[in-house]
Structure 1
Amino acid sequence: MIRTGRADLAFDGIRTEFGLRSSFPAAVLAEAEAAVSRSAGDRPDLTSIPLVTIDPPGAKDLDQALCLEKTASGFVVHYAIADLGLFVTPGGALDLEVRQRGQTIYLPDGNVPLHPTVLSEGAASLLPGVVRPAVLWTFTCSADGVPTSVEVRRALVRSQAQFDYESVQKTFDAGNPHPSVAALAEFGPLRRALARKRGAVELQLPEQEIESNGEGWKLVTRPRADVDAWNAEISLMTGMAAASLMLEARVGILRTLPDPDASAVSALRKSAAALKVPWPADVSPGAFLAGLDASTPEAMALFTDATRLLRGAGYSAFNGSVPEVTTHAGVAAPYTHVTAPLRRLVDRFATEVCLAVSGGQELPAWLAEALPQLPSLMGASDSLASKVERASLDLVEAWVLAGRVGQEFDAVVLRSGDHEAEIFIANPPILAKCAGKRLPEAERLRVRLTEADPATRQVRFERA
């Protein structure tokens, strides 16, 4: 556990180290305040659609609201996305500021928002019980979950309720889900089956989270509930539909990831053979990984090895000619980001492309000029967010283990190298380095803590 005072000081240190600014310049705040009262214009009133949101507990920056309908021939999915395009003036002080930020950065004691909270947690957020401007995606889908028609338009919407993943999962487990999401239990698995058929790659590694316990901070791992996976499929479907619109119009920005090269797949097959995990020759890497029991040490080791399949992610902007790489290997389809504009810069621009294309309009000059800048802006922002997340986890790991040097723990070897191995300790949940040459992957072993230094954020073990 970390005492609150020390934790706050330490996370402030991370903010300083990475140049994170929670506050906004006066001109940006003034522009955001003025935008709150901006007219939504002439758009259809679709507040009768019984939308609901599903987010982490206590979230206020609500990007998406959802309503699924089961029909005689399949499904209708309504997916409302916060309309940041209404509030951000191209080239204005707010626009320039959020381009520098790129995305919301999350730390254990509070986030560093992309937009001023008067927008991200207020006027633009799809909070329950209030009318909000939104970009509404409507999918008519067949009985097997495949979209047969897609519509995207600006509208007025109203969320009926705000839920969190755990509470929604409990309603499904009890057999009484909210009517707006009841069809997720059928539609979600259909979409996941389609993803496996496409060859999508999903790595079910343990996810470390930092959680407050009232007095300080602790590390936890939170298993992914069915609702998490089903809800994610709606976002993925929307991103795939947006990418299809862009590719057909030959303009937009894609989230891309090259297909894994043969050597990476071969190395993963060798690891599977060494761990005595059967992998038929005609089964794709994605299908093979999807069939593993994530709770076993062999699966954990193979998921870690499989990270080499997902290297080279980036953004490809285009206007007039389609880029060489148009797909995302993890999704196994063309894909783009459009569902989190409150928290990620690129989504606002990608959404504006989709609205223009679907409306048969030319891209406005400001949007065409911005597209080529987005890959570098988002690349830098993604890198920063990843470093901040890792620094926060490293710090809490070191604090949790401080004073326990010399103690022994049960661990699983995830990946082995010439001089050290990556290990996972379940209690407390720690991903760390362990000294040792070529430790057998997936082996369960006892390790001894040799270093836990909050000042350097270093945690190291050796084989006991």
Structure 2
Amino acid sequence: MIRTGRAELDFQGIRTEFGLPQEFPAAALAEAERAVSRTPGDREDATDIPLVTIDPPGAKDLDQALCVLRTPTGFRVHYAIADLGVFVSPGGPIDTEVRRRGQTLYLPDGNVPLHPTVLSEGAASLLPTVVRPAVLWTFECAPDSEPTSVRVRRALVRSQAQFDYESVQASFDAGTPHPSVEALAEFGQLRRERAQERGAVELQLPEQEIAPNGNGQWKLLIRPRVQVDQWNAEISLLTGMSAAKIMLDARVGILRTLPDADAEAVDALRRSAHSLGVQWPNGASPGRMLAGLDPSRPESLALFVDATRLLRGAGYTAFAGSLPEVTTHAGLAAPYTHVTAPLRRLVDRFATEVCLAVTAGEEVPEWLRTALPLLPSLMGTSDTLASKVERACLDQVEAWVLVDRVGEDFDAVVLRAGESEADVFVAEPPVMGKCQGSELPEGERIRARLVEADPENRRVAFKRIP
């Protein structure tokens, strides 16, 4: 039994601490209700494309639907994205409120949505079997998966089915994938190979997940890394990179940027790899070296944490007329922008509108040009808040789960070490915390005693057992 002094283990304290909005303003709700009945206007009828969605179980805010097909010349990828432009009027009550929110925040006991749910989980969501307005991207790709042509336009689409990652993975494992995604495995793997060739960096760190334990309390899990998740992500990345190219060619838009790591950071990673006994193949980029590691090995976990130094300084860069100094995202080793999650992230709607205007040969509207310079600050503030809320929820559940286990000993892996304290990862339950002690080499397995689990302050601490 978890003793917390609280009748219910909810996250209202975190919502209050960070000032998370509880409701939408009445004007925004009223506009959303009116927008539901708004006609999508003249657009292409693409309801014959057999699109499907792949999302976490129970998801209702469905941003993307896809169909990946083999062709005589390679692959054809259709990617439909929820079209908020139909429902949100520039400068209106919804637009004003979503600029304040920035993105959907996910807490274990309920989301803080970016848009009113009548839109994000209803009229704008790409739910199965119903016709929805969408922005439809179509990629014709060579046999190596590189795009040879890109088309983007407004369309009407109809998803055939809603899947989750685990069920789609199971269908591939059984050799019976849905026809709309049967080519996803081959295409996704090819895209991952292209990413390694570019020098993209992927950190395969354990991803903690909070879930109900069935008794009104919470448990911690490690989210499984299924291949379908990775393949599906490659479709989103392809779309974001293609959108970035459209913007750069037109010299107007907004990018998700990350400066290249400096030589000192790469040299430090090389020294860490050497000290951990990890071989760095001659001529291999940091990304290719990291991609070759077994994520279950303790030295790999430590090196992934150490490699975060390569991915510092991410931000959003708006531009018009002249190109910005930094145009690429070092983690992807390519220019990139967000366009594939407009129900859940503010910037995607604006970036999408730029791409639609440019590819249609139209001027970027003045309201959009005026908004672009404001987005980096809005999204930066929102990203910071989302990161803090996510960390606070994890810290809270870690303390709840361990509060009755103070004094017990655990197996742990040292991730990042200081002079008298280190960050450690405990596999069962999956917890990341501070561990006191000297001589804590990174990548080493140790025994650690839980010395503190404080739900009030959301703190967990261990001490190394000599």
TM-score band, normalised by the shorter chain? over 0.9
- What's 1:328 paired with? 329
- 2:168 counterpart of 1:168: yes
Q: Which amino acid aligns with 1:55?
A: D
Question: SS of the counterpart of 1:143?
Answer: coil
- 2:343 counterpart of 1:342: yes
- What's 2:378 paired with? 377
Contact 2:257 2:335 in 1 (8 A): yes
- What's 1:256 paired with? 257
Contact 2:3 2:404 in 1 (8 A): no
Q: Take 1:384 and 1:209, find their aligned partners in 2: how far apart are those partners?
A: 18
Question: SS of the counterpart of 1:126?
Answer: coil
Displacement of 1:275 after TM fit?
Answer: 1.0
Q: How much identity, in percent, do the aligned residues show? A: 75
Equivalences for 1:57-72 in 2 at 5 Å?
A: 57-72=57-72
Q: Note closer, same or farther for the CA distance 1:187–1:2 as it changes in structure 2 (3 Å cut).
A: farther
- What's 2:283 paired with? 282
Contact 2:259 2:328 in 1 (8 A): yes
Displacement of 1:414 after TM fit?
Answer: 0.7
- 2:388 counterpart of 1:387: yes
Question: SS of the counterpart of 2:23?
Answer: coil
Q: Note closer, same or farther for the CA distance 1:55–1:177 as it changes in structure 2 (3 Å cut).
A: same
Q: Which amino acid aligns with 2:18?
A: F
Describe the superposition over 1:165-212 as per-residue Cα deviations: whole angstroms up to 9, x where unpaired: 000000000000000000011101000000000000000000100011
Displacement of 1:436 after TM fit?
Answer: 1.8
- What's 2:83 paired with? 83
Q: Give structure 2 stretches of 5+ with no counterpart.
A: none
Q: Take 1:5 and 1:111, find their aligned partners in 2: how far apart are those partners?
A: 25
Contact 1:8 1:109 in 2 (8 A): no
Q: Take 1:314 and 1:51, find their aligned partners in 2: how far apart are those partners?
A: 32
Question: SS of the counterpart of 1:159?
Answer: strand
Describe the superposition over 1:290-323 as per-residue Cα deviations: whole angstroms up to 9, x where unpaired: 0001110010000000000000000000000110
Q: Which amino acid aligns with 1:363?
A: V
Q: Which amino acid aligns with 2:346?
A: L
Q: Which amino acid aligns with 1:214?
A: G
Q: Take 2:389 and 2:452, find their aligned partners in 1: how far apart are those partners?
A: 21
- What's 2:42 paired with? 42
- What's 1:404 paired with? 405
Q: Which amino acid aligns with 2:336?
A: Y
Contact 1:2 1:218 in 2 (8 A): no
Contact 1:66 1:77 in 2 (8 A): yes
Q: Which amino acid aligns with 2:32?
A: A
Contact 1:102 1:345 in 2 (8 A): yes
Count of residue pairs brought into register by the alignment: 464
- What's 1:234 paired with? 235
Q: Which amino acid aligns with 1:212?
A: P
Q: Give structure 1 stretches of 5+ with no counterpart.
A: none
Q: Which moved more, 1:338-347 or 1:272-281?
A: 272-281
Question: SS of the counterpart of 1:47?
Answer: coil
Q: Take 1:246 and 1:268, find their aligned partners in 2: how far apart are those partners?
A: 34
Question: SS of the counterpart of 2:11?
Answer: helix
Question: SS of the counterpart of 1:322?
Answer: coil
Displacement of 1:5 after TM fit?
Answer: 11
Contact 2:4 2:455 in 1 (8 A): no
Q: Which amino acid aligns with 2:237?
A: L
Q: Take 2:245 and 2:77, find their aligned partners in 1: how far apart are those partners?
A: 18
- What's 1:182 paired with? 182
Question: SS of the counterpart of 1:200?
Answer: coil
Q: Note closer, same or farther for the CA distance 1:80–1:173 as it changes in structure 2 (3 Å cut).
A: same
Kindly report structure 1 stretches of 4+ aligned residues shifted beyond 6 Å: none
The TM-score, its normalising length taken from structure 2, stands at 0.98
The TM-score, its normalising length taken from structure 1, stands at 0.98
- What's 2:295 paired with? 294
Contact 1:78 1:139 in 2 (8 A): yes
Q: Take 1:5 and 1:365, find their aligned partners in 2: how far apart are those partners?
A: 55
Contact 1:417 1:438 in 2 (8 A): no
Describe the superposition over 1:342-394 as per-residue Cα deviations: whole angstroms up to 9, x where unpaired: 00000000000000010111111100000000000000000000000000000
Q: Which amino acid aligns with 1:345?
A: L
Displacement of 1:8 after TM fit?
Answer: 5.2
